[in-house]
Structure 1
Amino acid sequence: MRKLFLLLFALFSGIGLRAQNPFRITFGPYLQNVTADGATVIWGTSSDALSWVEVAPDDGNHFYAEERPQFFETVLGKRTVGRLHTVRVTGLAPATAYRYRVCSKEVTEQSPYLVRYGQTICSDVYRRKPYCFRTPDARQRTVSFVMVNDVHEDSDMLASLLGDVNKENCDFVFFNGDMVNNMSGEQQLVDGFLAKSTELFAAEIPFFFARGNHETRGLFSDRYLDYFPTSTGEPYYSFRAGPVFFIVMDGGEDKPDSDIEYYGLADFDRYRAEQAEWIRRTVASEEFRSAPFRVAVIHVPPAGSTWHGTLELRRHFVPVLNEAGIDVMLCGHLHKHRYIPAGEEECDFPVLVNAKGHALDVQATEQEMVLKIRDTEKRPVKEIVLKAGERR
């Protein structure tokens, strides 16, 4: 009798707990690494689930016109179960608009020979328009993007800076580091900027991330690439968008590795030296050399300071970038606006440091690149015009 009572108590307690905490999508979806032939979609659920993405061309037919292809995250031939869902959609056509929805089926029990499922939930394509994104066109001759940095979990400030972002005026958004104060857990990322970004644009417009020194801190920092995957599998990577080749670098921490703040865990000097070799290979590529504009993106600037991290970047990265012919470097970190003209502080290229609370709007054609800085009230701060072929 006692065993029966305990069994019934456990059963009904579990039912009551699930009723109080219903299965749901906790954040996302947001887009990463959208290419001419694919896109990565990321979202979270309140409990373990088997998840997938359904995709349809934006051809005017209802999403329910036919069964849509499903894409799952797989590892070693098996579909994954978990709370973080990172699904790569493949086989897409360039310069094409697609609609999508995300679906998750709750897993209530899992053993080697048994899996039990609960509720299935999907993003709504019945009462609202499905999420939509467009794959880039390798032949496109223009690109527009917005960059913000040093948000430090101020989602209200983020909304004031990016509230006007839409698919007509922006191809993607750049987060240039220190979006959070540190990386202590998933909910911190969600509350700090992911939820607001998804609400504003990120379900349909991708963002790129240049890791800041504050994203290197915290017990969750080794999960960085789980939430912000790149084409290289490292926080540093490169890509071409229209007339611009972007080389996105990671400056690591700003103090010596031996500083007491890092408790013996930092190894950024070696990390930067190894990254410099990757930069050297990247700028030697034909894709880089053929681009009308070449833009370097990094959170910590290699100028404007004599802190250890800045000096290390000047020693390892700047000589390679000087030889490569960079048109402009975009930075953050200092929390104040600064423009360092080419030829100063050992940099043969201009360094634009964007302030906390400012947004940088960039539009580039094959002939010129226009950079406009504005504050949270949309008031202009500075405008810079770069002409193609004027690099030193």
Structure 2
Amino acid sequence: MRKSVIILLCLLAQILQAKENFQILYGPYLQNMTENEVTILWKTNRRAISWVEIAPQSGQHFYAEEHPRIYQTSFGKKVISKLHKVRITGLNKGATYKYRICSQEVINQEERYVQYGKTASSIVLHKEPLTFTTLDNEKASVKFWMVNDIHAQNEILHKLVGDIKDKADFVVFNGDMLSDIRSEKHIFNGFMNEAIKSFASEIPFFYCRGNHENRGQFSTEFINYFPTNTGMPYYTFRQGPAFFIVLDSGEDKPDNDIAYYGLSDFESYLKQEVAWLKNIVLSRDFKEAPYKIVFVHIPPVGMSWYGSLLVKKQFVPILNDAGIDLMLCAHFHRYLYNEKGQDGCNFPIIVNSNIDVTKVNVDNSGIALEIQDTLGVKIKQFHFKR
């Protein structure tokens, strides 16, 4: 009887899905941006092959000519999926491009036959196409905004970054955008739909994983939705005069704590990250950058919990000898500032609260930083000179 009910429910779900129009559910949004490459992601309600049509920014309408298609492929074959990730290469640094995403439904796939359905795409007919601008290591300055510990409070996220257009090169999510990751729908309803509506289709964001992104049954899928150039939640990138290190601080309690149900092994994981970090600070790209800025969710100061102590033990000795100009943290849900030299750290540390946005501008005069609340009122201001 139970088996029959399950079969009936599955058939009913298939019938309802068949009646629903093929469509793009979420996205697009930009990830893993570099000088010459970018990944564009989106989600459809049914399986499809997907591509991006791209063109340099110009005065021509998108329909003035045919544009090349860059497909989502895997080892030479087009990918059939609901989650679409198209990596675009061969771009020019500091250049602006317009683009359209397209997905064609795959209704049926057999050994020697594929049946295609309708195509869904972003709109370019009655509105301007989406655009993005690649990074540029030679740019004289870099501007970015950072928010953190939003915990699915979309209203706060909107107030903090809703007016970012043309004001920053990128955004940093410094962890705990959700309290846990339960499902794909949870990711998008929790904060990504708001991010996409506000900026993420045209301005990239770089994600620094927090401890709460490690929780929930869907948390192991994190890297599939937020890909990086290392394939890991820790990575580096550069824009203008600044070299950025994004660290993963893991969890805030020991691996054997009952809160993790025997599923945590961050101590081993962080040892691998430490080995990676040692090589990064020895690299020519790192050494030649005028400024070095580190993002890490859990600060190495401010409390005596396991997470903060472990970050201090594992990362700070390496960073102390590396000439770091600034560390930006989160986690405490309150503002904190540690001057250079405090608590054994040879660099200043700023912890952003969960209801403020940190806005940073880096140029040849130094690092200018301003913290604003949800009303746009300036809370704190710093200028770290070279």
Report the counterpart of residue 96 of structure 1 in structure 2. Answer: 95
Structure 1-normalised TM-score?
Answer: 0.93
Report the counterpart of residue 5 of structure 1 in structure 2. Answer: none
Structure 1: distance between partners of 2:148 and 2:247: 14
The offset of 1:138, in angstroms, is 2.4
The offset of 1:61, in angstroms, is 1.3
**In 2, are the aligned partners of 1:369 and 1:386 still within 8 Å (CA)?**
yes
Structure 2-normalised TM-score?
Answer: 0.95
Number of equivalenced pairs: 376
The offset of 1:112, in angstroms, is 2.3
CA 1:249–1:181 in structure 2 vs 1: closer, same or farther (change >3 Å)? Answer: same
Report the counterpart of residue 118 of structure 1 in structure 2. Answer: 117
The offset of 1:13, in angstroms, is 8.1
**In 1, are the aligned partners of 2:34 and 2:237 still within 8 Å (CA)?**
no
SS at match of 1:116: strand
Report the counterpart of residue 43 of structure 1 in structure 2. Answer: 42
SS at match of 1:372: strand
User: What's the % identity of the aligned pairs?
Assistant: 45
Structure 1: distance between partners of 2:89 and 2:63: 21
SS at match of 1:132: strand
Instruction: Output the amino acid matched with 1:225.
Output: I
Report the counterpart of residue 9 of structure 1 in structure 2. Answer: none
Report the counterpart of residue 231 of structure 2 in structure 1. Answer: 233
The offset of 1:299, in angstroms, is 0.5
The offset of 1:293, in angstroms, is 1.2
**In 1, are the aligned partners of 2:30 and 2:201 still within 8 Å (CA)?**
yes
Unmatched 5+ stretches in structure 1: 1-11
The offset of 1:76, in angstroms, is 2.2
Instruction: Output the amino acid matched with 1:122.
Output: S
**Range with bigger deviation, 205-214 or 135-144:** 135-144
Please tell me whether residue 187 in structure 1 is matched to residue 182 in structure 2. no
**In 2, are the aligned partners of 1:292 and 1:367 still within 8 Å (CA)?**
no
Please tell me whether residue 165 in structure 1 is matched to residue 201 in structure 2. no
Unmatched 5+ stretches in structure 2: 1-10
- Cα deviation, 1:129-161, whole Å, max 9, x if unaligned, reads 000111222210100000000000011110000
Report the counterpart of residue 21 of structure 1 in structure 2. Answer: 20
Instruction: Output the amino acid matched with 1:327.
Output: D
Report the counterpart of residue 212 of structure 1 in structure 2. Answer: 210
SS at match of 2:119: strand
Structure 2: distance between partners of 1:83 and 1:104: 9
RMSD (Å) for aligned C-alpha atoms: 1.5
Structure 2: distance between partners of 1:13 and 1:376: 45
**In 2, are the aligned partners of 1:372 and 1:382 still within 8 Å (CA)?**
yes
- Cα deviation, 1:242-280, whole Å, max 9, x if unaligned, reads 111100000000000000111111111111121111111
Report the counterpart of residue 310 of structure 1 in structure 2. Answer: 308
The offset of 1:366, in angstroms, is 2.1
Report the counterpart of residue 7 of structure 1 in structure 2. Answer: none
SS at match of 1:385: strand
**In 2, are the aligned partners of 1:272 and 1:313 still within 8 Å (CA)?**
no
Structure 2: distance between partners of 1:272 and 1:346: 20
Structure 1: distance between partners of 2:18 and 2:254: 51
SS at match of 2:321: helix
Structure 1: distance between partners of 2:108 and 2:290: 55
SS at match of 2:60: coil
The offset of 1:314, in angstroms, is 0.8
SS at match of 1:34: coil
**In 1, are the aligned partners of 2:137 and 2:241 still within 8 Å (CA)?**
no
- Cα deviation, 1:342-366, whole Å, max 9, x if unaligned, reads 2222211111000000000001102
**In 2, are the aligned partners of 1:143 and 1:242 still within 8 Å (CA)?**
yes
Report the counterpart of residue 273 of structure 1 in structure 2. Answer: 271
